Amino acid sequence: MSEQIRKSSQVNVSESRKQMISYEKQAVEYWKQAAEQGYAKAQYQLGCYYYNYGYGIYNNKNKKAFEWYSKAAEQGYALAQYELGSLYASGAGVPMNLKIGDYWYEKAAEGGVASAAAILGDRYSEGKSRNYKKAIYWYTKAVELGYQSSAEHRIGWCYEKLGDFDHAVEWYIKGAEKGIGNTAYHLAELYETGVGVPKDIKKAIEWYRISAKLGFPAADLWLKENGF
């Protein structure tokens, strides 16, 4: 009896897979039809399909993804602009070109894609194109667009590099309030050493404790080593 159930289950799974493949093919055909008629969202969906699921089916999957992302991006579809920027940045389906990649990231950020703004912030805070003011602009835009990672810490760091500790501390506090343990730890270091701010051991201890509560190991170690 159990063997019959096992075989029946295998048949059901096989049929389910066939049905899913059938549905997928239908969806792709619908996307193709809409994409060829100029619908940007369908062009974007088709680009995502080729990029994510083209292995073993399309030898030039990245080129096909690039083709459809480009069509949607040219129509102002922000998510496609972001993906196009990523293709240029990584050299997938197109020769690597960071300058063109950044152009599309800017378009995507202006269209509301927070991750694109954060990537531009990283680009300007590091490397040959380092420009802390531009980095602050894009990181701030990322925060405004709802970016969930540690952009506040990066903004504070850029202000610190510019020697503007008032704004640096302001953004470090925002980062700590958001739950970024590393940011609270860095605030503690500033107050402990008096770098850029008045030296204040009480504030330093307060921020080390906050950092430790946020799960940052170095803060917990500092408190133990100093008897707190």
Q: Please, what sign has the CA dihedral across residues 155, 157, 162, 168?
A: positive
pLDDT of residue 19: 45
User: What does the DSSP 8-state code read for residue 228?
Assistant: -
Measured CA to CA, the distance from residue 135 to residue 141 in angstroms comes to 10
CATH class of 20-111: mainly alpha
Measured CA to CA, the distance from residue 162 to residue 156 in angstroms comes to 10
Which residue is it, tokens 């049929």? 15
Q: Read out DSSP for 44-94?
A: HHHHHHHHHH-TTT-TTHHHHHHHHHHHHHHTT-HHHHHHHHHHHHHTSSS
pLDDT classification of 24: cutoffs 50, 70, 90:
low
pLDDT of residue 142: 97
Q: For 121-150, what is the mean pLDDT?
A: 92
Kindly tell me if the per-residue pLDDT of 13 is higher than 70.
Answer: no
**pTM for the full model?**
0.82
64 in Cβ contact with 58 (< 8 Å): yes
Measured CA to CA, the distance from residue 137 to residue 115 in angstroms comes to 14
Domain-by-domain residue ranges, the chain?
Answer: 20-111
Tens digits of residue pLDDT in 157-198:
999 999 999 999 999 999 999 999 999 999 999 999 999 999
In angstroms, the Cα distances linking 160 to 9, 88, 150, 197 are 62, 31, 16, 11
pLDDT of residue 2: 55
Measured CA to CA, the distance from residue 211 to residue 173 in angstroms comes to 11
Neighbours of 88 (CB within 10 A): 23
Report which residue type is found at 114: A
Tens digits of residue pLDDT in 26-77:
777 777 888 888 889 999 998 988 888 755 444 567 888 999 999 999 999 9
Counting Cα atoms < 13 Å in the Cβ hemisphere of 207 gives 24
